[in-house]
């Protein structure tokens, strides 16, 4: 059996009894919170073993009593940043309402800590908060006729799309109010000069509709539309299963 890494033992409260050595001066959650604060203020690139150790009053070597690598530090950060899900589904709510609430709530956590979508993942998450979010997403589909694998795949499809939507809109500067003088504001004017109807007929016809909307609402409108498409697909799968 593979041994549970030390950082997971600490996150799950499963540290072996009788462990030798000095008692840790900080908890794993305090270390994760310090790393999250650094990333929130200065970006993910500012997070290092040295910067986190300094923030909690450790030497860099002392931090290795908690995490063996930066990948493990990232895993702790994600667990702290997401936190446990605080969703309570109403007994009478339908699966679509529950899954929508789950997708929106986890997206709120990502927008609160935008660096989350930049974290490179060395392996699927195993920390308690991340596992709890997966459990909550599966619970949203509990009363459907889908198999366990279909529920898991449906949840992962929505979660992957949600992460990418947050990542794209943040990278393009479209997650909030758009300054007309910013590169994002200029884009809407410049693309009109470049998209010629004879060369790009579909874009040319779609352009006026896109420009008629409120650019500041881009994130929400595209989130609702994309999520609706995925939910429609799950509904069709459920109908076939029934």
| Residue 151, burial from CB neighbour count under 10 angstroms (0-12, 13-18, 19+) | buried
Give the integer Cα–Cα distance in Å for 163 and 144. Answer: 25
Q: What is the pTM of this model?
A: 0.86
Q: What pLDDT was estimated at residue 207?
A: 61
Q: Has residue 89 been placed in a domain? A: no
Q: Has residue 227 been placed in a domain? A: yes
Q: Has residue 183 been placed in a domain? A: yes
- 58 and 153, same domain (yes or no): no
Give the integer Cα–Cα distance in Å for 168 and 174. Answer: 8
For residue 232, give its domain range: 95-241
CATH number at residue 41: 1.10.10.60
Query: Which of 34, 55, 82 is a domain's end point?
Result: 82
Q: Has residue 87 been placed in a domain? A: no
Q: What pLDDT was estimated at residue 216?
A: 55
Q: What share of the chain is helix, strand, coil (3-state, %, to 5)?
A: 65, 0, 35
CATH number at residue 233: 1.10.357.10
Q: Has residue 173 been placed in a domain? A: yes
Q: What pLDDT was estimated at residue 24?
A: 60
Average pLDDT, consecutive stretches of 10 residues, N- to C-terminus, the chain (242 residues):
89 73 76 98 97 95 94 97 93 94 97 95 92 96 95 97 93 66 63 76 67 64 95 96 80
Within a 10 A sphere around the Cβ of 47, how many other Cβ atoms?
Answer: 23
- 134 and 234, same domain (yes or no): yes
Which of 162, 157, 84, 158 lies closest to 117, judged by CA? 162
């Amino acid at each position: 059996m593979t041994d549970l890494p030390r950082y997971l033992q600490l996150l799950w409260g499963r540290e072996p009894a009788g462990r030798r050595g000095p008692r840790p001066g900080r908890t794993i959650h305090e270390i994760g919170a310090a790393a999250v604060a650094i990333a929130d203020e200065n970006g993910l690139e500012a997070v290092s073993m040295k910067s986190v150790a300094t923030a909690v009053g450790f030497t860099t070597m002392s931090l290795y009593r908690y995490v063996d690598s930066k990948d493990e530090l990232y895993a702790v950060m994600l667990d702290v940043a997401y936190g446990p899900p605080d969703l309570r589904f109403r007994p009478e709510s339908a699966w679509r309402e529950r899954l929508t609430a789950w997708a929106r709530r986890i997206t709120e956590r990502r927008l609160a800590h935008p660096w989350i979508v930049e974290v490179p993942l060395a392996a699927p998450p195993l920390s308690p908060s991340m596992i709890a979010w997966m459990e909550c997403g599966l619970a949203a589909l509990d009363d459907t006729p889908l198999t366990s694998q279909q529920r898991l795949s449906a949840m992962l499809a929505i979660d992957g799309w949600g992460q990418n939507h947050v990542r794209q809109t943040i990278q393009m500067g479209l997650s909030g109010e758009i300054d007309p003088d910013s590169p994002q504001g200029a884009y809407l004017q410049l693309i009109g000069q470049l998209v010629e109807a004879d060369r790009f007929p579909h874009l040319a016809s779609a352009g006026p509709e896109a420009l008629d909307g409120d650019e500041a609402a881009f994130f929400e409108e595209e989130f609702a539309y994309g999520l609706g498409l995925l939910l429609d697909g799950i509904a069709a799968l459920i109908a076939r299963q029934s």
